[in-house]
């Protein structure tokens, strides 16, 4: 029986610490992608009463990670990693990723963060500046020898962390509650990273419909703190 993905990732990081340094820098909340300005529709979910406390936040994020946009993003990241040296294939993956976004704000979120990431990551690994965020991260990771599995886990973790940060400000929640939610999400973060290892681009899509609707309704939400 092969070792679990987490074991493989840790072994790689122990052998060469540079990939860990890259991931810590690129997916840090301080990396200038503008992620703090986006709630991924979560702002509307708070106003609608879908997210009221730590438990409802955890349930919401669990579905988004396992069955929604985060799962699709992880598939895009993996395929971008595998095709980083093929510009034509990368462009096709990027176009498919943008076409799969369910709302204007989701598209802007993916593309604007991708552009900001490409600009900021240039000292490490130049990548095209017209790609969705997940595709840009996958391409940069491949360019610097960051293992695909490690990049996938780190991306999902960073995505969840950013939305928890938004919820802490919106609900509001205490920092301790936010950290408890993040800790509780670890199994689904690892499972999603693992489950997407063999996914094809035909597997893009999901069934977190309430999250997609919230992204659409946020476009006309009267009072907004976030761009999505």
Share of the chain above pLDDT 70, in %: 94
pTM across the whole model = 0.93
Q: What is the pLDDT of residues 123-132, one digit of tens each?
A: 999 999 999 9
Task: Describe the chain by its helix, strand, coil percentages, rounded to 5.
Answer: 70, 0, 30
Q: Which domains does the chain have, with CATH numbers?
A: 34-218 (1.10.4190.10)
For residues 156 and 207, which has the higher predicted lDDT (pLDDT)?
Answer: 156
Q: Is 7 exposed, middle or buried (0-12, 13-18, 19+ CB in 10 A)?
A: exposed
Q: Is 130 exposed, middle or buried (0-12, 13-18, 19+ CB in 10 A)?
A: middle
* Cβ atoms of 228 and 108 closer than 8 Å: yes
Residue 15 has pLDDT above 60, yes or no: yes
- How high is the pLDDT of residue 153? 97
Residue 195 has pLDDT above 50, yes or no: yes
Q: What is the pLDDT of residues 80-92, one digit of tens each?
A: 999 999 999 999 9
- How high is the pLDDT of residue 18? 87
Q: What is the pLDDT of residues 20-29, one digit of tens each?
A: 899 999 999 9
Q: What is the pLDDT of residues 139-158, one digit of tens each?
A: 999 999 999 999 999 999 99
């Amino acid at each position: 029986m092969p070792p679990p993905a987490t074991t493989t990732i840790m072994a790689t990081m122990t052998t060469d610490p540079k990939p860990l340094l890259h991931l810590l820098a690129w997916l840090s909340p301080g990396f200038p992608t503008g992620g703090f300005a986006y709630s991924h529709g979560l702002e509307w979910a708070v106003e609608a009463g879908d997210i009221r406390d730590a438990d409802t936040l955890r349930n919401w994020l669990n579905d988004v990670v396992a069955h929604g946009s985060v799962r699709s993003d992880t598939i895009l990241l993996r395929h971008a990693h595998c095709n980083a040296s093929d510009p034509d294939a990368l462009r096709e993956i990027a176009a498919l990723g943008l076409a799969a976004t369910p709302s204007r704000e989701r598209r802007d979120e993916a593309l604007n963060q991708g552009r900001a990431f490409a600009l900021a990551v240039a000292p490490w690994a130049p990548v095209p500046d017209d790609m969705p965020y997940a595709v840009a991260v996958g391409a940069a990771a491949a360019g610097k020898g960051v293992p695909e599995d490690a990049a996938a886990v780190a991306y999902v973790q960073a995505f969840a962390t950013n939305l928890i940060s938004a919820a802490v400000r919106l609900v509001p929640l205490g920092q301790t509650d936010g950290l408890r939610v993040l800790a509780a999400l670890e199994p689904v973060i690892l499972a999603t990273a693992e489950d997407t290892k063999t996914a094809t681009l035909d597997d893009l899509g999901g069934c977190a419909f309430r999250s997609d609707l919230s992204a659409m309704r946020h476009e006309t939400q009267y009072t907004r703190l976030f761009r999505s």
